[in-house]
């Protein structure tokens, strides 16, 4: 009996010896599993937070780009509107200029036809007089009249050979042609010479400032000060008029340069009869 009890006690002792370590090991494994699970959870949480931050950053950047594109589109719309408005104004001005040019051409054709009719009439009269006169004295007198008529016709032809501006006015290329225009009496003419760069010179009732010259290309750069308004032209060719209004005049004045020398220009100002300047100047200089 005692032997049986001793065997039972020994068996229980050996069984209890490995159960304790097994429980400890299971606890360690469980703790390790919890640690690994918590680490994985923390990493997943951090990864999710990082992804959310990146998504927010992308959304903000996308929203900023969209706002910039919308602002750029608004600027483009405003610019297109201004361009359409400017194009409408330019188109209107071109139509007016084309109408004035057509009117000037029609007037030139009419003047040419009138002069041709006058020439034909004069020739007919001369031939009739020659037929009626029999002696040499009468023929000489008629020849003298014919010579005078030819001189007048030559002057008329010279007038017709002058270039015309877009507004139909004749453009004089030198002093002699300016004198011819004066004799016609349609407008007043102020001749001038401006010398020196950036030296304002008074011509008529306005100021002229020469900015530069290119004698080889027959071009010049000038600034006109008319009624406190600057009218600037760059690299303008000679005999190319600048039209402008002064005061309350309806008809424009013409500023024409027909000679260009180093730092010097010579030309004239054509003024309507109704807008003759109070100051008359044949020459203005920056000296």
Residue 270, beta-bridge partner list = 189, 254
The radius of gyration computed from the CA coordinates of the chain, to the nearest angstrom, equals 50
The answer to the question of residue 33 being in a domain is yes
4/129 same-domain check:
yes
Say if residues 215 and 228 touch (Cβ distance below 8 Å).
no
Q: What is the pTM of this model?
A: 0.43
The answer to the question of residue 131 being in a domain is yes
CA 107 to CA 101: how far, in whole Å?
Answer: 10
Query: Would you write out the chain's pLDDT as a tens digit for each of its 287 residues?
Result: 555 555 544 555 555 566 777 777 777 877 877 778 777 777 878 888 887 888 888 788 777 888 887 888 888 888 878 888 887 777 677 665 777 777 877 877 777 777 677 777 767 776 776 666 645 555 455 455 545 545 554 554 454 467 676 677 889 999 999 999 999 888 999 999 999 999 999 998 899 999 999 999 999 999 999 999 999 999 999 999 999 998 877 889 999 999 999 999 999 999 988 655 544 343 444 44
- Which range marks the domain in which residue 45 is found? 1-161
Kindly report, residue by residue over 20-69, the tens digit of the pLDDT: 777 777 778 778 777 787 777 778 788 888 878 888 887 887 778 888 87
The answer to the question of residue 168 being in a domain is no
24/135 same-domain check:
yes
210/124 same-domain check:
no
139/32 same-domain check:
yes
88/147 same-domain check:
yes
């Amino acid at each position: 009996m005692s032997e049986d009890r001793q065997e039972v006690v020994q068996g229980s002792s050996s069984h209890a010896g490995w159960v304790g370590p097994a429980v400890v090991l299971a606890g360690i494994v469980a703790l390790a599993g919890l640690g690994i699970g918590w680490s994985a959870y923390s990493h997943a949480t951090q990864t999710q937070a990082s992804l959310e931050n990146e998504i927010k950053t992308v959304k903000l950047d996308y929203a900023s780009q969209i706002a910039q594109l919308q602002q750029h589109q608004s600027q483009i719309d405003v610019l297109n509107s201004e361009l359409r408005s400017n194009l409408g104004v330019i188109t209107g001005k071109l139509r007016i200029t084309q109408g004035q040019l057509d009117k000037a051409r029609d007037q030139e054709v009419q003047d040419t036809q009138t002069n041709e009719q006058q020439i034909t009439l004069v020739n007919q009269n001369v031939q009739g007089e020659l037929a009626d006169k029999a002696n040499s004295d009468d023929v000489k007198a008629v020849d003298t009249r014919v010579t005078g008529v030819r001189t007048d016709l030559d002057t008329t032809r010279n007038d017709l050979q002058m270039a015309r501006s877009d507004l139909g006015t004749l453009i004089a290329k030198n002093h002699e042609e300016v004198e011819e225009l004066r004799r016609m009496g349609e407008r007043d003419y102020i001749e001038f010479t401006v010398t020196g760069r950036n030296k304002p010179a008074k011509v008529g009732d306005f100021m002229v400032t020469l900015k530069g010259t290119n004698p080889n290309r027959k071009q010049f750069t000038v600034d006109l000060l008319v009624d406190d308004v600057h009218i600037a032209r760059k690299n303008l060719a000679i005999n190319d008029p600048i039209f402008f209004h002064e005061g309350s005049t309806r008809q424009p004045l013409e500023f024409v340069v027909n000679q260009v020398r180093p730092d010097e220009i010579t030309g004239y100002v054509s003024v309507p009869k109704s807008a003759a300047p109070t100051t008359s100047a044949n020459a203005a200089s920056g000296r």
